[in-house]
């Protein structure tokens, strides 16, 4: 298991190595998708037994990954 960002880990034995919230099997992508679909922090806390800080870690991790991504225009 490797911590790829504070509070976010990747382990080939958990969800095929996709980033998950540390100490859970909840994928970062699931949290982002739920928030994008209109879920509130409170709903995620209730549904997945997360803390507000864990949700924020997922968002910070995603922002960091996107910030490092290089996008090239295809003509």
C-alpha distances out from residue 56 to 13, 16, 22, 26, 49, Å? 24, 23, 13, 14, 14
Q: Is residue 74 part of a domain?
A: no
CATH code, domain with 25: 1.10.10.10
Q: Is residue 51 part of a domain?
A: yes
**The token pair that represents 67 in the structure block:** 């910030």
- pLDDT tens-place string over residues 18-55: 999 999 999 999 999 999 999 999 999 999 999 999 99
**pTM to 2 decimal places:** 0.90
């Amino acid at each position: 298991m490797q911590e790829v960002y504070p509070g976010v880990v990747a382990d080939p034995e958990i969800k095929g190595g996709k980033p998950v919230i540390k100490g859970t099997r909840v994928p970062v992508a699931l949290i982002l998708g739920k928030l994008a679909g209109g879920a509130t922090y409170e709903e995620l806390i209730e549904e997945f037994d997360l803390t507000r800080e864990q949700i924020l870690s997922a968002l910070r991790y995603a922002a960091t990954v996107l910030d490092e991504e290089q996008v090239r225009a295809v003509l």
